[in-house]
Amino acid sequence: MDPKVISGNRVFDNRGSLIFNNNLKFNNIKRFYLVHNYSKNFIRAWHGHLKEEKYIKCLEGTFQVSAVKIDNIKKPKKNNKVYNYFLNESNHDFIHIPKGYANGSMSLENNSKLIIFSTLSLEESIKDDYRFDARYWNPWKIDER
The pLDDT tens digits for 19-41 are 888 988 888 999 999 999 999 99
Is the predicted pLDDT of residue 144 greater than 80, yes or no?
A: no
Average pLDDT over residues 40-52: 96
> Following DSSP, what letter does each residue of 15-77 receive, concatenated?
TEEEEE-TT---TT--EEEEEEESSTT-EEEEEEESS--EEEEEEESEEEEEEEE-S-SSS--
| CA–CA distance, 55 with 38 (Å, rounded to integer) | 22
The SS3 of residue 126 is helix
Is the predicted pLDDT of residue 67 greater than 80, yes or no?
A: yes
| CA–CA distance, 59 with 79 (Å, rounded to integer) | 31
Q: Which amino acid is at 121?
A: S
**pLDDT tens-digit readout, 88-119:** 999 899 999 999 999 999 999 999 999 999 99
0.85 exceeded by pTM: yes
The SS3 of residue 124 is helix
Other Cβ atoms closer than 10 A to 68:
25
Q: 100 near 70, Cβ under 8 Å? A: yes
The pLDDT, as a whole number, for residue 45 is: 96
